[in-house]
Amino acid sequence: MSKELTIKNSYDIAQPVQMVSMSKVLKKHIVEQKLYTTIVGKNYAHVEGWQFAGGLMGLYPRIAGVENLSNDKEIKWKADVEIVRMKDDKVISKGFALCSNKESKKKGFDEYAILSMAQTRAIGKAYRNVIGWVMKLAGYEATPNEEMVKMGEEIKNQPIPKAPVKTETPKIEAECGECGNPITKAEAEFSKKIFKKQLCRDCQALRKKK
């Protein structure tokens, strides 16, 4: 028989016990609705998951303003967001974010989509500033997925470092009959055939000059 999770009308962020209970509800919702993405082995909740968490605590996002930073070569928007407590309309957190069509996955996007993503990122960042630790309780990273997408791409695109090539050091199996320097067995056998004596390469060269 499955155990149902009880959802309170509102969870109090100042009550750790309530936050532990809420984190279970949050995790269940994010998993069931598939509101997370795995990047480099770590799970990041989508902004909808952060909004759900905020809603459980009576916190909602409010767009405080947007700014067009575009120029002839780039579409770029900045968004500012406030997290407001419903019961008294008090601002308890703020966040801002940027979005540009210069980003690898935003090339070709219309301007409205760039603006929309700037707002989405700002919402996630504003929530993160106040409830990032609650998301960690639920088993997710304290950074919204929308902030991590570009970083994840950069990590995936990094070249895999090649393993260093191992070079074997020749074994010292004899010594030069004239200077006493160590030589390999192959060098010793070669010099015996040519010079009738174990010689290093330098001494062999000197013999050839004589």
pLDDT at 151: 54
Average of per-residue pLDDT values in the chain:
84
Averaged pLDDT, 149-160: 50
Better-scored residue on pLDDT, 181 or 71: 71
Averaged pLDDT, 80-91: 95
pLDDT at 72: 93
What are the percentages of helix, strand and coil residues in the chain, rounded to 5? 40, 20, 35
Which of the residue ranges 77-91, 136-150, 195-209 would you say has the lowest mean pLDDT?
A: 195-209
pLDDT at 155: 45
pTM of the model as a whole: 0.67
**Non-local CB neighbours of 166 within 8 Å, separated by 6+ positions:** none
| Max CA distance (Å), the chain | 103
